Structure 1
Amino acid sequence: MTVYFNLTSTPLPISVESLGNQWSQVSLQRMQGYPLYHWLQTETGKGEIWIENKKIILEEKEGILIAPFVPHAYYPLGDDWVTNFITFEGHLKNHFNEILSNQTYILAKDQENFSFSKHIQQMITVFEDEAQRLNLSVLCYQFLLQLGQAQEPIQEHPLFQKYIEPGIKEIQTNYHDSLTVEEIAQKLFISSQYFTRLFKKFMNQSPYQYLIDFRIRQAKELLINEPDLPVQIIATKVGFDSTSQFIHVFKKRTQSTPKKFRSLY
């Protein structure tokens, strides 16, 4: 078993926080998600992932990348679930969503042309050689690109390109405004009902749910990264009409008040 934590003290385009393999994975519940991108892959045995009200079984060589602050839980199935993992962030984190096509999680597995588990081992080897440690950021970027290519190419579907992609961009650009699904659909020259049906088909949630989830994720980042910023200001910055509405929605989504969530970090 090889495990390292708090790997990077110098800010980098991509900074690896933790890295390991041959790890005997125990049950874990993260009702608030994790503040960084998190990869988990089965080496031997198998595990069960619960995410977005879905159950996913990770067999050998299968892995999952989970975006920051996405609630999830996982459990070993059987006596021993051995995994590898990596958590990362960095200056390029605003571009991670583009590489990963705005997915909250991605499933991938080892292939003949690329093995995620072998790449993790390569990263461990590089980290153990102090002279090469800065190369860890490059290797993590390569890892991220492979994950982006591993997902199903829904972004190539004409309807996704015509309506969903610009709809997502509109949400991510103007989430701090009083944005409505009707306004987004109007800009795309389609009805809000049709836009909602398409969005659910491709994204497995309504555009309103996506907007609220995106606002909450942005709020979580502000709560952690700007600890002195008042909750009232954060509520406005992420697009809520009032502080009370923000606190109500935040608690409903996370089972925690913004103040309590901030105290956890």
Structure 2
Amino acid sequence: MPQYFPTINKDQMRLPIYLKTIGIHYEETIVNRPQGFPSFQWIQCVFGEGLFQYDQKEYTIRSGQGLFIYPHIPHSYYALEKPWITNWVSFDGYSIKTLLEGLHMNKTGIYEVLNKPLLESRFHECFQLATSKGIYENIETSAFLFQFIVDIAKHTEPLEKVSLNNHKNKLESVLKYIEEYYSNEITIEQLAELVNVTPQYLCVLFQRIVKKRPFEYINQVRINKSKELILTNRTTSIATISKKVGFESPSYYGVQFRKMEGMTPGQFKDLFD
């Protein structure tokens, strides 16, 4: 488990990015930092499992995941499954915050590693370069760290985004069902059963991803379908069309149409006469 803690001199501190510490295949124990750590950290789980505590929350960190921790953020972590093996690197510099903002890594968080072999190799390359003791060692390490951080951003995904994508995949089948069966009676219970979640949780998914309640979305689909029918079935009454798209009450259909389109179904029809 090689580790390196370079002595930081004034020349290094003038660099846009400089290395503070690095460790390869390190067996983690118990770390408790109520005042945080003074530098930016990337900790990547190689093997085992650990618990990361931050912002009054707990996260299980497994192989293929990493932690990006901002300076002075109170946190702690320890092994859940021993040995818990990680690679870690810490860095600082006057351009770090600007770089991270450009990469949308604006806060402490947990990340899913999408290319483990690449980032594993970056740790070894960085360690070798930093310990080479060459004339331009500090400058070369600084340039390499810049690319290393870019690679972390390119080849990881925030866990909250991965979770959101999983939710989107789950909701996709519900949206397809609505698109196909909008003219039938649809209940929240039916939709929840499709994806094996509770009706309450399905409502949460809709609000989070579609930004609408389930029946708001269903009504929107029905209104859109009714507009198509109004334009392609000119002699069919508005009341008949409302029933064809799943509205039991023509008057309720009229209210929803006006709410969404800013006009009545009849006024919409007249626009194309």
Q: 1:92 to 1:80 in 2, by over 3 A?
A: same
Give, in whole Å, the separation in 1 of the partners of 2:133 and 2:65: 30
Deviations 1:171-202 (A, max 9, x none): xxxxxxxxxxxxxxxxxxxxxxxxxxxxxx8x
Give, in whole Å, the separation in 1 of the partners of 2:102 and 2:157: 11
Could you say which residue in structure 2 is the equivalent of 1:95? Answer: 98
Code of the aligned partner of 1:137:
S
1:5 aligns with 2:8: no
Query: Residue 115 of structure 1 aligns to a residue in which SS?
Result: helix
Asked if structure 1 preserves the Cα contact closer than 8 Å seen for 2:33 and 2:75, the reply is: yes
Q: 1:96 to 1:71 in 2, by over 3 A?
A: farther
Q: Which residue, out of 37, 56, 71, partners 2:40? A: 37
Q: Which residue, out of 75, 81, 87, partners 2:84? A: 81
Code of the aligned partner of 2:6:
N
Query: Residue 130 of structure 1 aligns to a residue in which SS?
Result: coil
Q: 1:40 to 1:55 in 2, by over 3 A?
A: same
Query: Residue 118 of structure 1 aligns to a residue in which SS?
Result: helix
Give, in whole Å, the separation in 1 of the partners of 2:36 and 2:103: 18
Deviations 1:32-64 (A, max 9, x none): 111110111111111110111221111113111
Matches within 5 A, 1:218-237: none
Give, in whole Å, the separation in 2 of the partners of 1:96 and 1:67: 13
Following TM superposition, by how much is the alpha carbon of 1:97 offset from its aligned partner in structure 2, in angstroms? 4.2
Deviations 1:18-45 (A, max 9, x none): 0111111111111111111011111111
Could you say which residue in structure 1 is the equivalent of 2:109? Answer: 106
Give, in whole Å, the separation in 2 of the partners of 1:99 and 1:32: 27
Following TM superposition, by how much is the alpha carbon of 1:114 offset from its aligned partner in structure 2, in angstroms? 6.4
1:146 aligns with 2:155: no
Give, in whole Å, the separation in 2 of the partners of 1:91 and 1:97: 12
Asked if structure 2 preserves the Cα contact closer than 8 Å seen for 1:14 and 1:90, the reply is: yes
Instruction: Give the number of the structure whose alpha-carbon radius of gyration is greater.
Output: 2
Q: Which runs of 5+ in 1 are unaligned?
A: 155-200, 202-265
Matches within 5 A, 1:104-143: 104-112=107-115, 115-131=118-134, 133=137, 134-143=139-148
Deviations 1:83-120 (A, max 9, x none): 11111101213414413436321333443486322211
Asked if structure 1 preserves the Cα contact closer than 8 Å seen for 2:25 and 2:87, the reply is: yes
Give, in whole Å, the separation in 2 of the partners of 1:117 and 1:109: 14
Q: 1:147 to 1:64 in 2, by over 3 A?
A: same
Following TM superposition, by how much is the alpha carbon of 1:79 offset from its aligned partner in structure 2, in angstroms? 2.5
Q: State the Cα RMSD in Å.
A: 2.5
Q: 1:113 to 1:26 in 2, by over 3 A?
A: closer
Query: Residue 86 of structure 2 aligns to a residue in which SS?
Result: strand
Give, in whole Å, the separation in 1 of the partners of 2:116 and 2:105: 25
Between the two proteins, what is the percent identity of the paired residues? Answer: 22
Could you say which residue in structure 2 is the equivalent of 1:47? Answer: 50
Give, in whole Å, the separation in 1 of the partners of 2:29 and 2:90: 17
Aligned length in residues? 156
Give, in whole Å, the separation in 1 of the partners of 2:53 and 2:116: 29
Task: Using structure 1 for the length normalisation, give the TM-score.
Answer: 0.53
Code of the aligned partner of 1:142:
Q
Asked if structure 1 preserves the Cα contact closer than 8 Å seen for 2:64 and 2:116, the reply is: no
Give, in whole Å, the separation in 1 of the partners of 2:115 and 2:36: 32
Query: Residue 146 of structure 1 aligns to a residue in which SS?
Result: helix
Could you say which residue in structure 2 is the equivalent of 1:251? Answer: none
Asked if structure 2 preserves the Cα contact closer than 8 Å seen for 1:109 and 1:115, the reply is: no
Q: 1:99 to 1:7 in 2, by over 3 A?
A: farther
Code of the aligned partner of 1:50:
Q
Task: Using structure 2 for the length normalisation, give the TM-score.
Answer: 0.51
Q: 1:45 to 1:28 in 2, by over 3 A?
A: same
Give, in whole Å, the separation in 2 of the partners of 1:26 and 1:8: 26
